[in-house]
Chains A and B, each alone.
Chain A
């Protein structure tokens, strides 16, 4: 299964980035093959709709699941349409979260925030 995690730097030991749409990188981990790669998040510099663009990128790379601290409603709509399962990240690194996912310790992300649209203020 292809799992995507927003991450602060290009390392599996790096902490999960609290932002989904504006994370600098995504870790793309293949839990079956044990391989991984890092994707630059091109949405990070977007003027608006970063979550939508990031979610589109995830859908395009064939991700089956996302582990994230939070997710906005627009991004969630794209991810739901693409059939990407969303899990709530725990404190710790990418590796910690992948391990927790494999152990069935991660719960589905149920809280979807209304987004930070417009000038970062709202």
Chain B
């Protein structure tokens, strides 16, 4: 069962929910797809880690072979190449690695070379296999790293995907292979706005989904009202609890240290199992 944990903004509780779900399972995989700021590893502290680079292919132009025909420049939809003063300039961060320039070059002057844009780290934290995607600072797109993580996921078992915040390309790529989406929401109007973004995304991708209401206070919860209005299943309510804040701030995991929360996440996992198969 592949569970993608989403929210419209950072700080809502995606990592909290996905890390705790992974720990509440007997055996699981936690995959951090938030490649711009992966932080699940801060809680899980994986051991025996192995790190491998993630590379993309980019063009390398041999100016000795180049006949200055401009075919590559004109072909590139992303404008990653320019020809000025008899020299081809390549803008790696704009390149989408389609390989078209090399394919269309009549002089065979363009070869493709690997360029590292980040890494994937794999390790163990008790019952949890931890996969962490990390995009190098300054890189434009985390998509290749998310694809790399996707290839590393086992076929079966409980897999928790900690998605990047928002509903842009990286979030779309993250939920593509998910069986079920968990939308984490805060009890504020701002939270409702963010919830509505990922709600639209899950619907667009025709993924089954439910909501976890986080940081719940005794007063009325606008996010819950949104769920009622849109007939969205509320899977769990996590209270606004100082003890949780204390544990989190120390990098500790509630489901491993606190019986109440262990029980809460076991119930959530059980609910997800039922939801994901139905």
Binding site for B on A (CB under 8 A): 43, 46-50, 52-53, 55-56, 59, 74, 77-78, 81-83, 117-119, 121
> Are B78 and A49 in contact, with the CB atoms below 8 A?
yes
Interface size counted on chain B using CB atoms at 8 A: 19
User: Which residues of B lie under 8 Å from residue A53 when comparing CB positions?
Assistant: 79, 82
Inter-chain contact A74/B85, CB cutoff 8 Å: no
Whether the pair A78, B84 counts as a contact (CB closer than 8 A) is: yes
A-B contact pairs, 30 of them (CB 8 A): A43-B79, A46-B77, A48-B79, A48-B94, A49-B76, A49-B78, A49-B79, A49-B80, A49-B94, A52-B79, A52-B80, A52-B82, A55-B82, A56-B79, A56-B82, A56-B84, A59-B84, A59-B85, A77-B89, A77-B91, A78-B82, A81-B82, A81-B85, A82-B85, A83-B85, A117-B93, A117-B94, A117-B140, A119-B169, A121-B168
Question: Chain B residues in contact with chain A, CB under 8 A?
Answer: 73, 76-80, 82-85, 87, 89, 91, 93-94, 140-141, 168-169
Which residue from chain A places its CB closest to the CB of B141 in the assembled complex?
A: A118
Task: Quote the shortest CB–CB distance from B191 to chain A (angstroms).
Answer: 21
Q: Which residues from chain B contact A121 at a C-beta distance below 8 Å?
A: 168
* Nearest CB of chain B from residue A86's CB, rounded to whole Å: 14
Q: In the complex the two chains form, what is the Cα distance from A52 to B93 in whole Å? A: 12
In the complex, what distance in Å separates the CA atom of A74 from the CA atom of B84?
Answer: 13
Beyond known contacts A49-B78, A50-B79: 8 more, CB 8 A cutoff: A46-B78, A49-B80, A49-B91, A56-B82, A59-B84, A78-B84, A81-B84, A118-B141
Closest A-chain residue to B83, C-beta based?
A56
Q: Nearest B residue to A75 by beta-carbon distance? A: B82
Closest CB pairs A-B (n = 10): A49-B79, A82-B84, A53-B79, A52-B79, A49-B94, A81-B84, A59-B84, A48-B78, A56-B82, A78-B82
Q: How long is the Cα–Cα vector from A7 to B141 in the complex, in angstroms?
A: 32
Q: Residues of B contacting A48 with CB < 8 Å?
A: 78-79, 94
A52-B94, A117-B140 as given contacts; A81 in contact with B89, CB under 8 Å: yes
CB distance from B168 to the nearest CB of A (A): 6
Chain A residues with CB under 8 A of B79: 43, 46, 48-50, 52-53, 56
Bound form: Cα–Cα A119–B89 in Å: 23
Main DSSP-derived SS at the A contact region:
helix
- Cα distance, A11 to B83, chains bound together (Å): 30
Closest chain-B Cβ to A102's Cβ sits at a distance in Å of 27
Which A residues lie within 8 Å of B141 (CB)? 118
Q: CA of A42 to CA of B184 in the docked complex: distance in angstroms? A: 43
Chain A residues with Cβ below 8 Å from B168 are 119, 121
**Bound-complex Cα distance A70 to B89 (A):** 21
Q: Are A52's CB and B85's CB within 8 A?
A: no
Minimum CB distance partner of B166 in chain A: A121
* A78 neighbours in B (Cβ, 8 Å): 82, 84, 89
Inter-chain CA distance A76–B89, complex, in Å, is: 12
| Across-interface contacts of B76 in A (CB, < 8 A) | 49
Q: How long is the Cα–Cα vector from A74 to B140 in the complex, in angstroms?
A: 14
Q: For residue A108, give the distance in angstroms from its CB to the closest CB of chain B.
A: 19
A64 to chain B, nearest CB (A): 13
- Shortest CB-to-CB span from B129 to chain A, Å, is 31
For residue B36, give the distance in angstroms from its CB to the closest CB of chain A.
Answer: 11
Of B83, B91, B140, which contacts A118 at CB under 8 A?
B140
Residues of B near A74 (CB, < 8 A) are: 91, 94
Which A-chain residue is minimally distant from B77 (CB atoms)? A47
Query: In the complex, A46 Cα to B76 Cα: how many Å?
Result: 11
Contacts of B89 in A (CB 8 A): 77-78, 81
Q: How far, in whole Å, are A50 and B82 apart by their CA atoms in the complex? A: 11
Q: Which single member of A47, A56, A81 contacts B87 (CB below 8 Å)?
A: A81
